[in-house]
């Protein structure tokens, strides 16, 4: 039975990945900060899908938390989903620097270190996959959040090139607006976001797993967002920023 480790596994896309992979008969290692929510999520998955579920409480913004997850990855997994992430209330440059640094640690350092921890075992077994959750925001210049997600996309493509020729796959997943706790936790006003731009977490994960199977290195779920990213490549940064500020971060 294959094993998947998912960070940020108790809500949103992380929980959707857990449901999908449990349905596909993966054993799961769930990583999140909240031990009580982890235990509840594990119990529900075991009851519904009959799979093995291991919980690993860890804060990826801390050295202790990162080291704990790295140690588990050294034991070997077949799929790593680097999903943990968050948005800061407020906009640059008004966000406290310690909050921005914490974001970079979770979005960038954790993705780097956990990828490096998982890769040796995957390459030795000549199989495995890593999904690094980024965002459509990666393709537009707005805030430290979008900058950190742009790093995730570039890193994922670079890492995929480095392991090219093997059966190990690395993919950046770039969803648009997804109905999760993310925006509420970041105190973001989503009233200006048109209803048709919202995606369901389970739909995003379904497309992500399809794109991973197809060997894609960057996945942008949904035709609407594929079109937005394609058009955005030809729109001046100043226009991008104006539109982004009107519909939300």
Catalytic residue positions?
145
Give the Cα separation of 29 and 9 in Å (integer): 9
Tell me the C-alpha to C-alpha distance, in Å, between residue 225 and each of 35, 107, 109, 137, 167: 34, 22, 27, 11, 29
From the number of C-beta atoms within 10 Å of its C-beta (0-12, 13-18, 19+), residue 143 rates as buried
Give the Cα separation of 235 and 203 in Å (integer): 28
Residue with tokens 């799961």: 28
**Nearest CA-CA partner of 174 in 143, 217, 123:** 217
Write phi, then psi, for 54 (nearest 5 degrees).
-110, 140
């Amino acid at each position: 039975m294959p094993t998947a480790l998912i960070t940020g596994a108790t809500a949103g896309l992380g929980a959707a990945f857990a449901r999908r992979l449990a349905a596909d008969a993966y054993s799961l290692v769930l990583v999140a900060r909240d031990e009580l929510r982890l235990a509840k999520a594990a119990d529900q998955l075991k009851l519904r899908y009959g799979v093995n579920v291991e919980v690993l409480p860890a804060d990826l913004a801390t050295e202790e938390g990162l080291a704990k997850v790295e140690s588990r990855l050294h034991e070997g997994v077949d799929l790593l989903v680097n999903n943990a992430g968050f948005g800061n209330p407020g906009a640059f440059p008004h966000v406290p620097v310690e909050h921005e640094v914490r974001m970079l640690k979770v979005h960038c350092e954790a993705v780097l270190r956990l990828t490096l921890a998982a890769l040796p075992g995957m390459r030795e077994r000549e199989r495995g996959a890593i999904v690094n959750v980024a965002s459509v925001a990666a393709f537009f210049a707005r805030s430290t959040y979008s900058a950190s997600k742009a790093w995730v996309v570039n890193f994922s493509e670079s890492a995929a090139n480095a392991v090219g020729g093997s059966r190990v796959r690395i993919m950046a997943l770039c969803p648009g607006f997804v109905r999760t706790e993310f925006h509420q936790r970041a105190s973001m006003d989503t009233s200006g976001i048109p209803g048709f731009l919202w995606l369901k977490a389970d739909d995003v994960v379904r497309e992500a797993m399809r794109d991973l199977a197809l060997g894609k290195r960057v996945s942008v779920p949904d035709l609407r967002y594929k079109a937005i990213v394609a058009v955005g490549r030809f729109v001046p940064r100043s226009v991008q920023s104006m539109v982004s500020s009107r519909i939300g971060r």
